[in-house]
Amino acid sequence: MLKKIVLTTLTVVTMTMTAGASEDINKTKEEIKIKTIGEKNCDFVKDMKDMSELTNENKGCVLKFLSEQISQQLPMQVDKFTELINVIAMGDNLLTYRYRITNFPDNVDMKLVRLSMQTLLLNNNCSTPDIRAMIDKDITISHSYYDGKAKYLFDVEITEDKCKNINKYEDEEKAYIEVLKKQIRKQRQKETKETKETKETKETK
């Protein structure tokens, strides 16, 4: 039954997370009415055993079913910073998870957060059989993040191409971490030098 897949999807979301407001959300809800399956009869989806039965012809109904089932359990707190607020199926090829991030430190490096989440989500989504089955059918799994006031922060899109090139995105994160480390070392060297010069000036006087 696909309800088992719903539970699998929610588990992956929870495991992955480690680390005008209402107007934007309402706008997205309006878009759903335009882009989703609409009135198409998708009752047959409930009788599907697993994602091995996913086809290009039925994937729109499957996405609609998954989004509706998961949404019944939302909002859901996935860690101390992040809340999953809704899941949206848009057409036959896009399933979007929307998150709200709160209580982040003011000086957090959002680029590093994005790159870290990208690596985590790629490794989890691409290695989970039911989710990978959707990705291999040209379905994009999008994870969109907003702050406590619903201001857009960033998103991470999981596609078949990215799943095949995970190392590329892991290297991107590692490279950025090295840049940050160099900046920190440089700043510390500067502070040490300034402290030394201040001390020498006092001693001279």
DSSP state letters, 132-183: HHHHTTT-EEEEEEEETT--EEEEEEE-HHHHHTHHHHHHHHHHHHHHHHHH
Q: pTM of the full predicted structure?
A: 0.74
175 and 140 both lie in a single domain: no
118 and 189 both lie in a single domain: no
34 and 110 both lie in a single domain: yes
Domain count for the chain: 2
81 and 149 both lie in a single domain: yes
28 and 42 both lie in a single domain: yes
141 and 201 both lie in a single domain: no
Residue appearing with tokens 């502070």: 191
Q: What is the mean pLDDT of residues 41-53?
A: 83
Taking the C-alpha atoms of residue 146 and residue 77, their distance in angstroms, rounded to an integer, is 14
145 and 175 both lie in a single domain: no
134 and 93 both lie in a single domain: yes
Can you give the CATH number for the domain in which 143 is found?
Answer: 3.30.300.250
33 and 83 both lie in a single domain: yes
Left, alpha or beta for 138 (phi > 0: left; psi -120 to 50: alpha)? Answer: left
81 and 131 both lie in a single domain: yes
**E strand spans, the chain:** 76-77, 82-89, 94-101, 140-147, 152-158
Q: What is the pLDDT of residue 17?
A: 55
**Could you tell me the residue range of the domain that residue 128 belongs to?**
2-164
pLDDT in tens, 137-165: 999 999 999 998 889 999 999 999 999 99
Query: 182: pLDDT confidence band, cut at 50, 70 and 90?
Result: confident
Query: 192: pLDDT confidence band, cut at 50, 70 and 90?
Result: confident
Whether the CB-CB separation of 95 and 66 falls below 8 Å is answered with yes
Q: What is the pLDDT of residue 189?
A: 78
65 and 92 both lie in a single domain: yes
Q: What is the pLDDT of residue 46?
A: 82
